[in-house]
């Protein structure tokens, strides 16, 4: 009985010794296999991080591109079974912790400063609007475009650009408010340069013009608003002054468009109701641009004598200047000159080309020029 008891104790001791030797080996092997499985699963998703196994605990470390990649790496590690474990246990038995970090986003490049800081929106006869100018962030640009699309339905030729230099934080709100005024017109243009705002256009409804005239001068502190809205068959009723040379020139160009100042053939005599309507509108623009001079330049085609054409161009420019003065423009702000046939913009070989060359130009300049 004593011998059997002794052999029993020895057998138990041997079994315990074998378990002591084999058990840790299996655990270490399973840990190594688990590490391999996790690494392979991460690599398959192009996630390059380190996996450290301590028993049944997996720790991920390294730097990833974004929080979403970090979250994905943890999810993969937690959900990966041991594919190569020799003991047949392929279930998810491990724990996962993380020392992963997210790479710092590269600093955004500093925006260049734009001066003058401008915005333009042009509404065509069919209601489509085009925009061009500056905003200080992508968010501002998206807000302006969303507002324009809601007001006009379609925005074409979006040329908004990012730049620093806006007069103040009111810039995007100002744009959206004046786009709302532009939307009321049949066609027109919104021009903003730094703190100067000008709205030009056409409406058939005098009450619309009145509402815009009130709105355009109701602007945030520091801004200056003006409007030059035409209502067919009604007298001008413009408001505000324009203190930007560029916007004044654009105002003259917009009002003139393809319209011509017509004269009797070979004479310096204004001709036609359309000519007087055009000059009345240009006179109103000159009054609004009170800080600037206006050069009236006459041109002729190449028919006839050079000297005669020169004298005719001067006389015609002088007649136009005199008419602008008669409509309230100060004489000292108007300068008349002629270029004769020396500066053609089209061929003098065709009737159409000659008609283009017979023209009056209006050039806005500083008072000191």
Tell me the mean pLDDT in the region 266-277: 94
What's the pLDDT at 88?
53
Comparison of pLDDT for 227 and 55, the residue scoring more: 227
Q: Is the pLDDT of residue 207 over 70?
A: yes
Q: Are 162 and 172 in contact (CB under 8 A)?
A: no
CA distance 251 to 286: 9
On average, the pLDDT of the chain sits at 89
CB atoms within 10 A of CB 267: 12
Q: Is the pLDDT of residue 369 over 70?
A: no
Q: Is the pLDDT of residue 90 over 70?
A: no
- The DSSP element (H or E) to which 318 belongs, if any, is helix 306-326
Q: Are 294 and 332 in contact (CB under 8 A)?
A: no
> Which residue from 196, 200, 197 is spatially nearest to 188, judged by alpha carbons?
200
Q: Are 227 and 286 in contact (CB under 8 A)?
A: no
241-369 belongs to which homologous superfamily? OmpA-like domain (3.30.1330.60)
What's the pLDDT at 31?
84
> The dihedral of CA 274, 278, 283, 285: what is its sign?
positive
CA distance 118 to 161: 10
Phi then psi dihedrals of residue 233, to 5 deg: 70, 10
CA distance 50 to 63: 9
Q: Is the pLDDT of residue 153 over 70?
A: yes
Least confident of 20-24, 308-312, 317-321: 20-24
Q: Are 182 and 121 in contact (CB under 8 A)?
A: yes
> Which residue from 252, 257, 254, 260 is spatially nearest to 276, judged by alpha carbons?
260
Query: Each residue of 229-253: pLDDT tens digit?
Result: 999 988 888 999 999 999 999 999 9
What's the pLDDT at 86?
57
Comparison of pLDDT for 94 and 147, the residue scoring more: 147
Q: Going by C-beta distance under 8 Å and a sequence separation of 6 or more, which residues neighbour residue 191?
A: 118, 119, 120, 197, 198, 199, 200, 247, 250
What's the pLDDT at 20?
44
Tell me the mean pLDDT in the region 326-332: 95
What's the pLDDT at 19?
46
CA distance 20 to 353: 107
Least confident of 32-41, 77-86, 190-199: 77-86
What is the percentage of the chain residues whose pLDDT exceeds 90?
A: 74
Q: Going by C-beta distance under 8 Å and a sequence separation of 6 or more, which residues neighbour residue 228?
A: 198, 199, 200, 236, 238, 251, 255, 284, 285, 288
Q: Is the pLDDT of residue 24 over 50?
A: no
Tell me the mean pLDDT in the region 147-166: 92
- Burial status of residue 263 (CB atoms within 10 A of its CB: 0-12, 13-18, 19 or more): buried
Residue with tokens 């056409």: 202
Can you give the residue ranges of every domain in the chain?
A: 30-102, 115-230, 241-369
pTM: 0.69
CATH (residue range 30-102): 3.30.1340.30
Q: Is the pLDDT of residue 132 over 50?
A: yes
Which fold would CATH assign to domain 115-230?
hypothetical protein tt1634 (3.40.1520)
CA distance 164 to 142: 16
What's the pLDDT at 185?
96
Q: Is the pLDDT of residue 107 over 90?
A: no
Residue with tokens 């945030």: 220
Query: Each residue of 347-361: pLDDT tens digit?
Result: 999 999 999 999 999
Q: Count the alpha carbons within 13 Å of 21 in the hemisphere toward its beta carbon.
A: 6
């Amino acid at each position: 009985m004593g011998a059997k008891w002794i052999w029993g104790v020895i057998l138990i001791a041997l079994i315990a010794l074998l378990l002591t030797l084999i058990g840790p080996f299996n655990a270490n092997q399973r840990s190594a296999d688990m590490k391999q499985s996790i690494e392979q699963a991460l690599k398959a998703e192009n996630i390059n991080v380190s996996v450290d196994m301590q028993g049944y605990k997996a720790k991920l470390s390294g730097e990833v591109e974004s929080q979403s990649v970090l979250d994905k790496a943890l999810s993969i590690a937690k959900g990966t079974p041991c594919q190569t474990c020799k003991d047949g246990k392929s279930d998810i038995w491990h724990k996962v912790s993380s020392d992963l970090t997210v790479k710092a986003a590269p600093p955004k490049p500093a925006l260049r400063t734009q001066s003058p800081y401008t915005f333009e929106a042009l509404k065509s006869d069919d209601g489509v609007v085009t925009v061009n100018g500056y905003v200080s962030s992508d968010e501002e640009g998206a807000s302006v475009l969303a507002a324009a699309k809601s007001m006009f339905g379609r925005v074409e030729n979006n040329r908004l650009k990012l730049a620093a230099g806006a007069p103040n934080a009111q810039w995007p709100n100002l744009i959206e408010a004046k786009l709302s005024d532009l939307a009321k017109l049949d066609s027109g243009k919104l021009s903003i340069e730094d703190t100067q705002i000008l709205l030009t256009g056409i409406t058939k409804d005098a009450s619309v013009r009145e509402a815009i005239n009130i709105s355009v001068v109701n602007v945030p502190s520091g801004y200056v608003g003006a409007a030059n809205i035409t209502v067919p068959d009604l007298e001008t009723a413009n408001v505000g002054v324009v203190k930007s040379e560029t916007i004044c020139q654009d105002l003259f160009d917009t009002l003139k468009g393809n319209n011509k100042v017509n004269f009797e053939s070979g004479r310096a005599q204004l001709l036609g109701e359309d000519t007087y309507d055009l000059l009345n509108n240009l006179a109103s623009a000159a009054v609004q641009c009170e800080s600037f001079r206006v050069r009236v330049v006459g041109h002729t085609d190449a028919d006839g004598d050079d000297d005669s054409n020169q004298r005719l161009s001067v006389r015609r420019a002088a007649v136009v200047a005199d008419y602008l003065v008669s409509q309230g423009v100060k004489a000292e702000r108007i300068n008349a000159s002629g270029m004769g046939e020396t500066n053609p913009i089209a061929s003098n070989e065709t009737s159409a080309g000659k008609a283009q060359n017979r023209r009056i130009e209006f050039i806005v300049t500083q008072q000191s020029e």
